[in-house]
Each structure stands twice: as structure tokens, then as C-alpha cells.
A and B are shown apart, each in its own frame.
Chain A
Amino acid sequence: MAREDFAELLSKAQAGDEEAFSRLWLDLNPRLVRYLSLEPGGHAEDLAAETWISVIKGLRRFRGNEVEWRAWVFTTARRRALDAARRRSRRPREVLGDPSEQAWAVPDRSLGVLEDLSPGSVVALLSTLPAVQAEVLALRVIAGLPVETVAAMVGKSPGAVRVSAHRGLRTLAATLRSQGVTQ
């Protein structure tokens, strides 16, 4: 995902160059949609669109390298997703356990089957994990963000992020083993 010409593209996009912005959008939006697909409301594309509107508003004032750019965009996306989760939570319902664990992804164990290796199927498999593990894996892999950045985004220590990622991977492997994966 890394671009040698990122600084140039960003600079042009901040100056109003539509082509430069379209490049930035094409680079990131597919991954943004995949990340936002973890939000169980089923509105990943709408949330991505909302995210870009916010990003565009603040684009001129953004300063940073490509990793920081991704972190900024995904942080914005995360806010949109959490807003969506908050809207859903206003519906009366019984909440059990730690609400912060349920605000993001709602695990659906019935989806723990990896039918194919399409991004949608893998995101569906991720959504079977506990929310924190799913999101940490998504931010590490889909957004390509370093541990420290992910830690700041989800409000946990870098060590806790590493543990969550590793436990998530192991859980996925265990899930697939239970399905009798042979290849």
C-alpha cells in the first residue's frame, strides 16, 4: 500500500487536484469498506462515504506521512462506525456483559465458516471473534497500521494489542481446524 509519491499526491490533493485525491481515495477506500464491514449495521459503504466527507473537510490541515494519513482516515472511520453503533444502541434492548465489547462488532457464531477467500468472507469470519480482537486484526492487517498506532486508536496498551491480535489469529485457526480445513 505504500506509495513513493504519497507526499506529492497529498500536497496536490490539498491544493485541489482532483486526480491526486482520486488516487488517495482509490488506494484507501476498498480497505476502508472492508474495515467498516465489521460494523454489524451493514452500511459499510455509507459509513465510508461519511468518512470521506469528514476527511475532505479537514484535508487542507492534515500534516503527516502515509502511515499517519491511514491512521487519520481510519480513526475517522472508526468514529463514524461508533456513531452508528451508538445510534443502534438507542433502541431498547437488554444488554449483557461489558457494553464496550458489544458496541463494535457483534459476534455471530453462525458465520464462523470460511467459505472462500474473498474479503467479505474473511471479514465475516473476523466478526466471529470478540470485538476487540476483530478490530485489532482489522486495523493491523487491513489498515496496515503499526501496533502503537492501533493501541492509541482502541485505547489499549501496545502489549494488549499484540495479545489481542495473536489470540484472534489462534482463535481463527482453531475455528478452521474445527471445520476440518485440510489446505
Chain B
Amino acid sequence: MTDFTDPTGSGAEPEISDADLDSMLKGHRPLEGAPEVQRVADAMNALTSPPERSELAGYAKAMTAYGSTFAQPRSRRVAMIPSATGLRALASAAGAAVALGGVATIVFASGAMGPAHPTPVAPVATSATTDAAKPTPKPDKTGTPVGPDASGPAAFGLCNAWTHHQAQDKDKPGSSVAFRNLAKAAGGEAKIAAYCAKIPHPGSSGATKTPKGTSTSRTPKGTSTSKSKAPATPPGQSKTTLPTATLTTPGPVTTLPTNAP
């Protein structure tokens, strides 16, 4: 790659090597460089910083849209309840239920189905469900609730609840013991989103513990490592351009609209 000269000839732009420019695109500070160059690198890095509250506000709407699109036929839905979301997410959140207050109410509103479906005798294969079967932490001797351990297996459930809280009532700070525990585990309230983003799904390969009895094979990695494929045509554009079996290069994806009056 050749270096680029300033076509304006003004000399107003600082000299930055191509290597440094590429480094800055990745949010890395060049080893050497003027303060403003370092600052630009910091700015690029900030673009990939952890989520802010406002950026999670659309969660409920997205999940509603997803739920309505992927709603299962009734017979199928009933059959899935004990094995999927019902026992996994809700059970993992169970540890958080006692101290969560209003948010937990939201999360567990759908958990009312629980008693109608017998809990599997053998804990299923996730650290979260295994942990959820343990007694809920009791209040300490002073009567102060201790809440769930947000750095342990209850983290996933807590994060789910916290996300619901952000989506439903983002202006009201989560003051429950559970949320305080979560904030403590995350290193501060402002870091909860980043912390939660790293918590693996209890049933995923990224789970922190490998539960006993797991016999399901992992999805093979590396379905494709291609980096240069162009994006698929966006969904909903037309029936003929919805994504098909493989992504192909469609050429320019869009044409910028004119600003004709």
C-alpha cells in the first residue's frame, strides 16, 4: 500500500505512516506519534467501547419481534418448555429472584409456568441449572439479604434480569441486592453491560464449567473464515433477494438516494 499525499497541498494533515493508520483503525495507539494522532487512536478505540444504557433500550422490542416471528406451534411449544428457555434461563435466574425486586418480577412473570412442568430429575447439563437447584442464598443473620453470587453461575440469570431492567425501566437504577452484587462483580455499575456481554450462555461452548453428563457434540467450528465476502442482500428487501444458502457478492449493495426535492 502506498502512502497518500495530501492532494490539497495544504499540509494541514499530520504525517502518519500507513502502518500507524492501520493500527489506529484497530483502536491501537501508534508507538510514536503526535498527541493528536494518539487521541484519534483513542477515539477509534472508544467506538468499540462497552455498551451504554441507551444502546440497550431496544431490547424488549427486538425480543418481542423475535418471539412473534419464531413462535412455535402450541404442541411444539409445550414440549419445548422444560428443556429450553423455561428451565435454562429462568432457572439460572432463579438464584437472583429473591433479591431482584421489580425486575425479577418481570423475568419470572413467565416463570409461572414452572410448577406445572416437573423439573427434570437429573439436572440437565448446564452449570446454571445445576446451581439453580441449590438452595437460594438465605439472608444473613442480620436479616440483610445477601443475594446471589454474581460472579458465579447465577451471573447469566442476573444479566438477563439486568438487561430486562434496562429495557423496561432504564431510568430507574437497579438498587436491589442482586444488582449491587452484579455491579460489584462487574467492577462498577457502568461496567455491567461489558461484564454481561462476556458471560457465556449456560448451554454454550463458552460456559465456564463443563457440566457432567454433557454428551452433545459441539457445532463444528469454522463454517467459513472468509473475510472478504460481500454482505448478503438485506432481508425484507424483496423476496428474490433474501439471503439464500450462501452469501454471494452482490456488487454494490445499495445506491445512495438522490436528494431530489
Residues of A that sit less than 8 Å from B by CB: 1, 3-5, 7-9, 11, 16-23, 25-27, 29-31, 33-34, 45, 48-49, 52-59, 61-65, 67-68, 71-72, 74-76, 78-79, 82-83, 85-86, 89-93, 95, 99-100, 102-104, 114, 117-123, 125, 137-138, 140-142, 144, 146, 148-149, 152-155, 162-163, 165-167, 169-174, 176-177, 181-183
Contact = CB atoms under 8 A, between A and B. Distances in A.
A31 B70 CA distance: 24
Contact of B34 (A23, A89, A177): A177
Interface string B250-261: 111111111111
B220 A68 contact: no
Contacts of A137: 25, 44
Interface residues of B, number: 98
B229 A68 contact: yes
A137 B62 CA distance: 27
A176 B39 CA distance: 8
B245 interface: yes
A111 to B, nearest CB: 13
6 contacts: A5-B219, A30-B55, A63-B245, A141-B44, A155-B252, A170-B6
B89 interface: yes
Interface in B144-174: 160, 163
Given A7-B220, A141-B48, A68 B36 contact: no
A7 B257 contact: no
Contacts of B244: 61, 63
A34 B44 CA distance: 12
A183 B34 CA distance: 9
Contacts of B260: 89, 95, 99
Contacts, number: 313
Contact of A155 (B45, B200, B228, B254): B254
B257 A155 contact: no
Interface of B: 1, 4, 6, 12-14, 16, 18, 21, 24-25, 27, 34-40, 42-52, 54-59, 61-63, 65-67, 69-70, 72, 84-85, 88-89, 160, 163, 193, 196-197, 200-201, 203-206, 218-221, 223-237, 242-247, 249-261
B24 to A, nearest CB: 6
A6 B221 CA distance: 9
Given A58-B236, A140-B25, A167-B4, A63 B49 contact: no
A11 B219 contact: yes
B168 to A, nearest CB: 14
Nearest to A32: B55
B205 A99 contact: no
B257 A82 contact: yes
B232 A75 contact: yes
A19 B85 contact: yes
A149 B229 contact: yes
Q: Which 3 A-B pairs have the closest CB atoms?
A: A58-B235, A155-B252, A152-B230
B16 A64 contact: no
Contacts of A26: 51, 56, 59, 163, 196-197
B257 A89 contact: yes
Given A167-B13, A176-B40, 7 more contacts: A5-B219, A8-B205, A20-B201, A99-B259, A137-B44, A155-B252, A166-B16
Contact of B258 (A5, A9, A27, A99): A99
Contact of B253 (A7, A152, A169): A152
Given A22-B63, A169-B40, A29 B235 contact: no
A50 B260 CA distance: 24
